[in-house]
Amino acid sequence: MPFINEILNYSSLSIVGLEKNTGKTECLKYVLKRMPVDSRRIAVTSIGIDGETVDQVTRTQKPEIVLQQGMFFATSEAHYKLRRLVSELVDVSDENTSLGRVVTAKALTTGKILLSGPPSATGLIRWMNQMQRIGIDLTIIDGALSRLSSASPAVSQSMILATGAAYSANMNTLVQKTAFIVQLINLPLADEKKRNLFGPLDQGSWWLDADGTLNPLSSATSLSKHIHFQGMERCSTIYVAGALVDGFIEKVRANKDLRQVEIVVKDFTRIFVSPQLFRLFLKAGGRVTVLQKSKLIAVTVNPVSPTGFVLDSDILCQKLSEAIELPVYDLLKN
């Protein structure tokens, strides 16, 4: 498979499913099985509890994945105790999840484990840095594109997106919706000066005037209805630390002076704007850039929906590939 080699060019990869049953876990299994463990040190984890994967009652509902001997993995204490392989513990973190602390271990035999992981973005970044320190070449994150998750998959250098009939059973809708997410993932990075300027700002909305002076926006949150853009004739850039929503874009569009404005957000997961409005904004000359972005390596599809509906895999792959100009794979079929 061509994209396996491309993955190895990056030091981190997240695998993101657009919906349950879009084949994210299949994709993860597929990638893990093909990783060259003899030449690369690989570590794998999952983004905490994302609301879809862990059954809080039985605590074991999550699918097991197979690790090759020599791979490192991070999971919760509760899941670690259920492992079905021999492994060597290398770290127990201070960070608590509802399933206990996050532990990191090395698989000494091939076998199955249940994956869970750091519950927060900072915890995930800390873990990734820690893995780098102990000489790991590639960290793989089982990511969830869920609003419940505070950890964004955009912290990884590269990304694979899993989509499928579960996301939409109508092929055209599925292609359009997926293409929009791909468009967001591929948004350009803000220039370095702006990344350094906005990076430390965790809250609020800000704007830059033509001289590069940073000013806070009138309202504290970008969600507010009362936000207004008076006295911003010389505004070149707006930075939104939180979520970018329809209402905000509409207010920006309503202001003549802001037609050509550049809106900067943390990463693509912060954008909650409808595709139509987003395109109108860009068409009128506006720009949206991000502080953090991942290289989208490939898109995988699962043409089978959990309700039993099946899309034609070949046509789906072809249509989607045309729309996003990226390779699209149906892993089960291949």
Taking the complex as a whole, how short is the minimal distance between the CB of residue 87 and other proteins, in angstroms? 6
Which parts of 213-242 interact with other proteins (CB under 8 A)? none
Strands 271-272, 244-245: parallel, antiparallel or unpaired by DSSP? Answer: parallel
Residue 102 or 290 having the CB closest to other proteins: 102
Candidates 12, 14, 25, 87; binder of other proteins (CB under 8 A) is 87
Residues with Cβ within 8 Å of residue 174, at least 6 apart in sequence: 163, 164, 165, 167, 168, 311, 316, 320
List 37, 90, 171, 280, residue binding other proteins (CB under 8 A): 90
Amino acid at 326: L
- Least distance in Å: CB of 77 to other proteins? 6
Nearer to other proteins, 1 or 66 (CB): 66
Instruction: Please list every residue from 105 through 164 that binds other proteins, using CB under 8 A.
Output: 105-106, 108-111
Residue closer to other proteins (CB basis): 71 or 261: 71
- What residues contact residue 325 under an 8 Å CB cut-off, 6+ apart? none
Q: Output helix, strand, coil percentages for the chain, rounded to the nearest 5.
A: 30, 30, 45
Position 89 contacts other proteins (CB under 8 A): yes
Q: Does 172 bind other proteins (CB under 8 A)?
A: no
Helices (H), 163-228: 171-185, 192-198
Query: In the set 64, 77, 137, 257, which binds other proteins (CB under 8 A)?
Result: 77
DSSP state for residue 108 in the 8-state scheme: S
Smallest distance from other proteins to CB 101, Å: 8
Least distance in Å: CB of 42 to other proteins? 17
Return the range that interacts with other proteins (CB under 8 A); candidates 51-59, 101-109, 249-257, 273-281. 101-109
Q: What whole-number distance in Å separates Cα of residue 204 and Cα of residue 220? A: 5
Q: Which is nearer to other proteins, 110 or 219 (CB)?
A: 110
Q: Cβ distance 318 to 177 under 8 Å?
A: no
Separation of alpha carbons 8 and 1, rounded Å: 12
Residue 94: count of CB within 10 angstroms of its CB: 8
Residue position matching structure tokens 């929503």: 245
Q: Which positions touch other proteins (CB under 8 A)?
A: 69, 77, 80-81, 84-90, 92, 94, 103, 105-106, 108-111
